[in-house]
Amino acid sequence: MDYQQILEEIHTEVKPVITQGKVADYIPKLAAVPLNKFGMAVQTLDGKLFSVGDADEYFSIQSISKAHTLILALQFAGENNLLKRVGREPSGNPFNSLVQLEYENGIPRNPFINAGAMVLVDIILSHSKDAVQTILKFVRDRSNNQNIDFDKEVAASEKSTGFRNAALANFLKSYGNLENDVEDVLDIYFSQCSLSMNCIDLARSFMILANHGLSPWSGKQIISKSQAKRINSLMLTCGTYDAVGDFAYRVGLPGKSGVGGGIVALIPGRLCVAVWSPGLNSSGNSLAGTQALELFTTKTGKSIF
């Protein structure tokens, strides 16, 4: 299928909503990102790339990185060990909520809320001394782009105002659900969120999830077919936080969002699609990005259903 024409139509149709969202202002560095950006890229399993707008501009991937660290943590700990420490149900609460963690005795509802992602970091750190480099290498290899890097200013900016995340990490520690130092876990978490990537890198970095665990670049089986299925299921039910029902209803694809305004979604056996527009809705998902993905599945007639 030639997706180029469809991406161009989508770009034109979402233009009026691009500036209606609100940039994430609780991280000072993200508050400075211009609101009028929009990019979208499609990478197909048969090797074709299509893109539109600011698809090659780098931005902060934020929580999208939680899909990458979930894959790494699963590789390190195995499914049974991981599921003792983090659940697999939608939270129905904002991604940085504290209350649920207390009710549920320090076991985060799922790996994509902030507390769940901190447990993933803890697992990676327990298995790999230089966890930050392990995460970087993994993301570079998955995207087939060795130039991807962290944005140290974004990480420092988030750290300077990250009191809520510090509270979550301390909470986890108090329940015995962090093996490593709170400070170390937080530093790695802020670094992974600061990864700077563009829509093309991001679409490519999810290819193993669309390709039943197999890397199209190296030909290696990175995770099993069953693990890819499970991660996609988690994205469908938990990947866009308390707006996950609305996202699944409108888009019909598993997807992972970040407060930098990026969203990656995929159709197993077919393609990955990444979109970026920094204006967010009230749940912290890209406003124009969600609409663009809804238009994508509507116009192509392709979703997982």
With CB under 6 A as the rule, give the number of residues binding ligand DON. Answer: 14
Residue 14 is among the residues annotated as catalytic for this protein: no
Complex with ligand DON: residue 96 or 221, whichever CB lies closer: 96
95 binding ligand DON? (CB under 6 A) = yes
96 binding ligand DON? (CB under 6 A) = yes
63 binding ligand DON? (CB under 6 A) = yes
277 binding ligand DON? (CB under 6 A) = no
Residue 23 is among the residues annotated as catalytic for this protein: no
Q: 102-131: which residues touch ligand DON (CB under 6 A)? A: 114
Of 29, 37, 66, 256, the catalytic one is: 66
Among 134, 165, 290, 291, binds ligand DON (CB under 6 A): 165
Minimum distance, C-beta of residue 77 to ligand DON, in the bound complex (Å): 22
Scanning 49-57, 136-144, 208-216, 251-259 for contacts with ligand DON by CB under 6 A, the matching segment is 251-259
Q: Which of 162, 165, 27, 181 is nearest to 101 (CA)?
A: 165
Q: Could you write out the DSSP letters of every residue in the chain?
A: ---HHHHHHHHHHHHHHHTTSB---SSHHHHTS-TT--EEEEEETTS-EEEEETTT--EE-GGGHHHHHHHHHHHHH-HHHHHHHS--S---S-TT-SHHHHHTTT--SSTTSHHHHHHHHHHHHHH-TTHHHHHHHHHHHHHT-TT-EE-HHHHHHHHHH-HHHHHHHHHHHHTT---S-HHHHHHHHHHHHTEEE-HHHHHHHTHHHHTTTB-TTT--B-S-HHHHHHHHHHHHHHTTGGGHHHHHHHH-S-EEE-TTSEEEEEETTTEEEEEE---B-TTSSBHHHHHHHHHHHHHH--S--
Contact 293, 279 (CB under 8 A): no
259 binding ligand DON? (CB under 6 A) = yes
Of 139, 182, 189, 205, the catalytic one is: 189
Q: 177-196: which residues touch ligand DON (CB under 6 A)? A: 193
Minimum distance, C-beta of residue 260 to ligand DON, in the bound complex (Å): 7
Residue 241 is among the residues annotated as catalytic for this protein: yes
- In terms of Cβ atoms closer than 10 Å to its own Cβ (0-12, 13-18, 19+), residue 221 is middle
Residue 259 is among the residues annotated as catalytic for this protein: yes
Which residue's beta carbon is nearest to the bound ligand DON?
Answer: 63
Scanning 37-45, 142-150, 210-218, 254-262 for contacts with ligand DON by CB under 6 A, the matching segment is 254-262
Among 134, 211, 257, 277, binds ligand DON (CB under 6 A): 257
Minimum distance, C-beta of residue 221 to ligand DON, in the bound complex (Å): 29
Catalytic residues: 63, 66, 189, 241, 259
Q: Give the footprint of ligand DON on this chain (CB under 6 A).
A: 62-63, 95-96, 114, 158, 165, 193, 241, 257-259, 284-285
